[in-house]
Amino acid sequence: MKVSIVIPVYNEESTIEEIVRRVLSSPLEKEIIIVDDGSTDKTRTHLGEIAKTEPHIRMIFHERNQGKAAALRSGFKEITGDFVLIQDADLEYNPGDYDKLLEPLLDGRADVVFGSRFLGGPHRVLFFWHYVGNKLLTLVSNMMYNINLSDMETGYKAFRKKILDKIVFRSNRFGFEPEFTAKVAKRGFRIYEVPISYSGRTYDEGKKITWLDGLKGIFFILWFRLFD
């Protein structure tokens, strides 16, 4: 079984080479698809260097920044694997957890697997209010779709390719997480959670999501419940 690993990237010049190295070190049968979402730093220069040594990695370049979800949609169009795994480029999520994410898919228990930052895996201690915001968004999402996730907003999600044949994603930026959760829950796909490690970043280290994205998350949860 082949895994398609989609890596959305925006202004990650300090981490892109390392995350690619870590992904390549995974023993999985895999394809790697990198989508640069209009980076304005030296990310594209680094991607050019990577392309010279790893020509099998497929790269897609957006001319302007459109958002994480838009980058993922572009990557999803190119996959050829049996399973899809989303890998952020910022080193917050560890490719060493791939086996955990894929196990419920490979043994037939699940269609979708969420890697939870709140189920006991090691994590860097950071922002209290981010934790509260994540819990609030997850609570509202669980109420809307009658599920019991612990971490709806996690960036680590793996799923069967067939899901992309049945769902059309429409959001552009950080609306992908609530949209993905809404659509797989409403369509009755089998969802599992597994504990993962998490090395969160500070804003000085490049973290991009803000409290405004949290407010938008509430809007997206309600929108996709009521109108999608």
Q: Is the pTM of this model over 0.85?
A: yes
What pLDDT sits at residue 105?
A: 98
pLDDT at 218: 86
- How confident is the model over 137-164, as a mean pLDDT? 95
**pLDDT above 90 coverage of the chain, percent:** 75
* 174 has a pLDDT exceeding 80: no
Instruction: Read off the DSSP letter of residue 1.
Output: -
| pLDDT at site 208 | 63
Q: Tens digits of per-residue pLDDT, 31-90? A: 999 999 999 999 999 999 999 999 999 999 999 999 999 999 999 999 999 999 999 999
- Those residues whose C-beta lies under 8 Å from the C-beta of residue 130, and which sit 6 or more positions away, are 200
Structure confidence by residue, pLDDT tens digits, 188-214: 999 999 999 998 766 666 666 666 767
Query: In this structure, what are the phi and psi dihedrals at residue 63, rounded to the nearest 5 degrees?
Result: -70, -25
Model pLDDT, residue 111: 98
Whether the per-residue pLDDT at 123 is higher than 80: the answer is no
- Distance, CA of 63 to CA of 23 (rounded, Å): 25
Q: What is the CATH number of domain 3-226?
A: 3.90.550.10
Domain-by-domain residue ranges, the chain? 3-226
Average the pLDDT over each of 99-103, 121-125, 126-130, 207-211 and give the range with the smallest value. 207-211
- Cα four-point dihedral sign 170, 180, 74, 34: positive
- pLDDT for the residue numbered 204: 66
If pLDDT is split at 50, 70 and 90, which confidence band does 12 have? very high
How many angstroms separate the Cα of 71 from the Cα of each of 64, 74, 195, 206? 11, 5, 26, 18
58/35 Cα distance (integer angstroms): 9
More confident residue, 170 or 156: 156
Confidence category of residue 6, pLDDT binned at 50, 70, 90: very high
